[in-house]
Amino acid sequence: MEKKPHFVKRDVPGREAPSLLLALLLAAVLLLHALLYLGLSSPRRSAGRAEADPGLCPFGHFKLGPVKNCSPWLSCEAIDREVRKLKCVGEGAVKKVFLSEWKENKVVLSQLTNAELKEDFLHGLKMLKALQSKYVVRLLGYCEKQFTVLTEYHPLGSLRGLNETLHIPKYKSMNTWHRRLMLAIDYVSIIRYLHSSPLGTLVMCDSNDLDKVLSQYLLTSDFHILVNDLDALPLVNRSAGRLVKCGHRELWGEFVAPEQRWPYGEDVPFDDDLMPPYDEKTDIWKIPDVSNFFLGHVEGSDIVRLHLFDIHAACKKKDPAERPSAQEILDTYRKVLTLLIREAAMPGTREML
């Protein structure tokens, strides 16, 4: 009951009032922006086609750039006739990637390079078709007989270049704790989507180290994240007793989850037939490390880490069953973002109370 008179007695010198009001106004705008972001990215908003259909086109169609009409996915003939390769911009174990052009739009053409991995390539295409949503790079066309896939081009590239991008003068204003936390929210949103996808619970297997994880995702020009590479995305089906193994080789290191490591010691040679399978909680184990990369070392990022300490500690539980779900992590991240921006909006709140 004493709060009100205590607050009234706090006088602000006249010369400080304009700057204080301006600071409060800017903080209020920041808070509104974050709340709008959280509202727009909430999965509850997206029940049904809004989440599953990027650009609000029907399945099998897309629209690109300022074009209002939806076009059907390009066929083999259309790709051969209308798409022009410009230059090779990347090559991995499965495919080679070309910056290309379609009707004056920059696009990305991916082609299989290793015939022995064609099943991986086709699996990635199957996933790309089935999972089209606001979380997945936009599919523009494909040709199975030529093992080619056409997708939307994002000039900022993969997340491996995030820190370099944030040091470009044009993007330095984005290099803040709240923008970096929003990227972490995007990342966890994608993991949540994969764990509750239309196909069932999918595990992001191309994730044996941080660099590999970051290479699987794209940074959009409006600073959101899309998953780009879906070649290694096996399905967990507990009711059918189906778990997964990410490849057939031994995995090492603290980045991969404990259950992904050979459990029988150095004296027993690795044998894939003896390696126990596991579930999607391997993705949960890796979230703190990926989020730590997103948060970087900007002012305020250590405060964010402090608020995320408990949920990240839970992610690192040795027993996978004790780790939280991606939805629980996402809920926590959103609460922390809202809380910290409210505190930034009213930095003297605690003293006034």
Examine residue 292 and state whether it is found in any structural domain, yes or no: yes
Residue % of the chain over a pLDDT of 70: 82
Q: What pLDDT digit, counting tens, does each position of 154-197 carry?
A: 999 999 999 999 999 999 999 999 999 999 999 999 999 999 99
Domain around 84: 70-152
User: Domain check: are 118 and 231 in the same one?
Assistant: no
265: left (phi over 0), alpha (psi -120 to 50) or beta: left
d(C-alpha 184, C-alpha 38), whole Å = 13
Q: Select from 101, 121, 152 the last residue of a domain.
A: 152
The pLDDT value recorded for residue 43 is: 43
**pLDDT for 8:** 43
Do residues 251 and 292 share a domain?
A: yes
pLDDT for 49: 36
The domain boundary, picked from 100, 126, 152, lies at: 152
Sign of CA dihedral 177, 183, 281, 257: negative
pLDDT at 345: 76
Q: Residues 226, 122: one domain? A: no
Structural domain ending residue among the three candidates 104, 136, 152: 152
Contacts of 327 (CB under 8 A, 6+ apart): 192, 195, 196
Same domain (yes/no): 189, 328: yes
What pLDDT sits at residue 348?
Answer: 58
Provide the pLDDT for residue 93.
81
Percent with pLDDT over 90 in the chain: 74
pLDDT score for 45:
36
- In this structure, the answer to whether residues 82 and 224 fall within a common structural domain is no
Same domain assignment for residues 178 and 145: no
Contact 84, 101 (CB under 8 A): yes
The CATH number linked to 74 is 3.30.200.20
pLDDT at 3: 45
pLDDT confidence tier of residue 31, bands split at 50, 70 and 90? low
- Give the mean model confidence (pLDDT) for residues 12-40: 57
Are 303 and 205 within one domain? yes
Distance, CA of 325 to chain centre: 16
Q: Which residues contact 319 (CB under 8 A, 6 or more apart)?
A: none
Q: In this structure, are 200 and 99 located in the same domain? A: no
CB 138 within 8 A of CB 106: no
315 and 201 both lie in a single domain: yes
Mean pLDDT of 286-299: 97
Residue 317 sits in a domain of what CATH number? Answer: 1.10.510.10
Distance CA 58, CA 75 (A): 17
For range 213-237, the mean pLDDT? 95
